[in-house]
Amino acid sequence: HEKEIMDIEGFGKKSMDKLLEAIENSKANSLEKLLFGLGIKGIGAKMADTLAYHFGSMDALLNANYVQLTSIKDVGDTIASSLAAFKRNERNLEMIAHLKELGLNMDYLKVRDTGDNPFRDKTVVITGTLTLMTRKQIKDYLTSQGANVTGSVSKKTDLVIVGENPGSKYTKAVDLGISIMNESAFKEASGL
What does the pLDDT read at residue 146? 79
Q: In what order do the strands lie in the sheet with 123-127?
A: 148-150, 123-127, 159-162, 179-182
Domain boundaries, the chain: 2-101, 123-190
- What is the mean pLDDT for each group of 10 consecutive residues in the chain (192 residues)? 58 66 72 89 90 90 92 90 94 91 85 66 92 89 85 94 93 94 88 74
**Long-range CB contacts for residues 80-83, cutoff 8 Å, separation at least 24:** 82/40, 82/41, 82/42, 82/43, 83/40, 83/43
Run of H or E including 127: strand 123-127
What does the pLDDT read at residue 110? 73
How distant, in Å, are the alpha carbons of 15, 60, 160 from that of 55? 28, 6, 27
Q: How many CA atoms lie within 13 A of 192 on its CB side?
A: 22
Architecture of domain 123-190: 3-Layer(aba) Sandwich (3.40)
Q: What is the DSSP string of 17-67?
A: HHHHHHHHHHTTS-HHHHHHHTT-TT--HHHHHHHHHHH-BHHHHHH--HH
What does the pLDDT read at residue 158? 93
What does the pLDDT read at residue 86? 94
What does the pLDDT read at residue 5? 57
Architecture of domain 2-101: Orthogonal Bundle (1.10)
